[in-house]
Amino acid sequence: MGLEVVSSAIISFSLFLLLASTTQAQSNGVFDVTKYGAGKDITEALANAWKDACASTKPSKVLIPRGTYWLRKVTIAGPCKAAIKLQVDGILQAPVDPNKLSGGDWVNFRYVDQFTLSGSGTFDGQGKVAWSRSTCHRDKNCKGLPMNMRFDYITNALVRDITTLDSKNFHVNVLGCKNLTFQHFTVRAPRESVNTDGIHIGRSTGIYIIDSKISTGDDCISVGDGTEELHITGVTCGPGHGISVGSLGKYPNEKPVSGIFVKNCTISDTTNGVRIKSWPALYGGVASNMHFEDIVMNNVQNPVIIDQGYCPWNQCSLKAPSKVKISDVSFKNIRGTSATPVVVQIACSSGFPCEKVKLANINLAYKGPGGPAKSQCSNVKPIISGIMSASGC
């Protein structure tokens, strides 16, 4: 046998082994991380499985089966050549020490189109130690601790049935996304956890949060500048700080907020219910077309609130009013119980009074000292219709 024939045979055999390895790693478009050498630490196996699946010209799925795995900081990025799914059925655990997660996140999904994240799995941020060391309770813009998940520039995507647990900072941050839905999504962290917003959305369009349960130590859902067409439906919130638009007006050149629809939600044992908040004195902005409807409140401290003098820990100047213009807001069919006598508080800016604020069928009961239930309004002339259980506005 000549050398050329031998060399050709060796090359052919090598290609056969490569193809066999690839076939073993994936079957019917499913890329199972356990076929990529995943042990207790799954980081490299996940990165390699995602790389192969993302390169597929046919729809593919990366599978993390049941089990408990360690996962270090990872970026799961596109663009991919076809629709792609990540099915997480296992428990993924972040390093306990936040110093082992450089930057502001643990798992970062970015630049993926036609993406689905689903499964019965959990992203466990193991945040308890980090909260005990953190000073974030004094700094709303704390950036020293990593978030469980970031979704950056994701389009046409679905996150379903996944749980995020005990994040060190925000559980989920959504930035620059379009047509992204969270469905049957669960956020869990104790009431005392610090700065653990459930889902924060900014500069994104067409975000849907549907039939989800959020229990945490900060806002269940918080809405930043540039958010348009946000639909929150069937969400159970509590404990936490409620569902909040803002805070707005803290930074220059903030984008307008518009098209916020919160409907059929239940909020229990929170410090706020549905809230719009902006900083005094600092920068301008616009927030409009925001509607809160069919909300049940259970023992909520501030059920309905617009606060344009938002100044946590006195970290701002109250000498000048907020420069954020708020208009076209409605609170409709809101019922239940309040933990404080002021059940509706609409405190707008004296420099830019609120316009077109509607209160319809507000039936909130309070039983306790300082009662009965009352409402307070400033720098606004709300349009009131139907039941109004709290006089004052």
The secondary element (H helix, E strand) that includes residue 334 is strand 323-338
Binning the chain into helix, strand and coil, the percentages to the nearest 5 are 15, 45, 40
Which is nearest to 178 in space by CA: 222, 112, 223, 260? 112
Query: In this structure, what DSSP letter does residue 312 have?
Result: G
Catalytic residue among 137, 184, 200, 241: 241
What six digits make up the tokens of 308?
A: 């344009």
Cα pseudo-dihedral 136, 139, 145, 149, rounded to 10: 100
The answer to whether 90 touches 68, Cβ cutoff 8 Å, is yes
Other beta carbons within 10 angstroms of residue 146's beta carbon come to 27
- Establish whether 171 is a catalytic residue: no
The answer to whether 204 touches 221, Cβ cutoff 8 Å, is no
Structure-token match 């996962």, residue found? 71
Kindly list the strands in the beta sheet with 105-110, ordered across the sheet, starting from the edge strand earlier in the chain: 74-77, 105-110, 147-152, 172-175, 199-202, 221-223, 243-248, 274-278, 304-307, 342-347, 374-378
Catalytic residue list: 241
